[in-house]
Amino acid sequence: MLIYLIDKTKQLSRRQKQSLMMSADVILLSFALWISLSLRLSNLWPLQYWIANWWVLLLIPLLSIPLFIHYGLYRAVLKYMGYQVIVATVKAVTLASLCLGTLLMFLRDIYFPRSTIIIFWFVSILIIIASRYVMKSILYLKEPIKKPIGLYGAGEAGSQAINILRSSSEYLPVALFD
């Protein structure tokens, strides 16, 4: 069943995969805010706060998702993602947290612990980055083993061939003979 879901996910179009990641981020950001308030209050189910401030759970994805789009988190290809995803996530979550904190400062009528925002910043960065790397490991764990090859010839053509073969899914250049 799990292998079937992984194969179906791999077959989705790029736009569908981006929509799937956005939907996951909406859920994960709300979950991160819930966990942050739970950690702040030492209460796993702080329902009295969420009944009065339910709109904050809806607001945080509305603030974050456009920032994620702006910083290119949905353009990154999971298979080839690197540290740029971490940097973009930190920037986007930082701005979203600052916007939420500023908004909560202006709305003094409600009681929402402001230190929750700092906890949210840390928790959401961990959750969003971890979700990307977990998906990468699930979807691309069973990549075919590349055949090691040696190339004869050097110079500009040899370096171009090596660059092309490194991105190949079939061959891995390991030696260059001149």
Q: Read off the pLDDT of residues 64-97 as tens digits, 9 standing for 90 and up.
A: 999 999 999 888 777 777 888 899 999 999 999 9
Residue identified by tokens 């701005």 is 95
Task: Give the pLDDT band of residue 176 (cuts 50, 70, 90).
Answer: confident
**In this predicted model, what pLDDT tens digit does every residue of 90-130 receive, in sequence order?**
999 999 999 998 988 887 666 778 889 999 999 999 999 99
Q: What predicted TM-score, i.e. pTM, was given to this entire model?
A: 0.74
The span from the CA of 116 to the CA of 121, in Å, is 9
- Tokens for 83? 């540290």
Every domain of the chain and the residues it spans: 2-139, 147-177
Q: How many residues does the chain have?
A: 178
Sequence-separated (6 or more) residues with CB below 8 Å from residue 176: 150, 151, 153, 154, 158, 162
Sequence-separated (6 or more) residues with CB below 8 Å from residue 58: 30
* CA-CA-CA-CA torsion sign (77, 28, 36, 64): positive
Nearest residue to 36 via CA among 28, 134, 98: 28
- Tokens for 117? 């925002």
Task: Give the lowest-confidence range in 49-53, 95-99, 166-170.
Answer: 166-170
Residue identified by tokens 């500009």 is 156
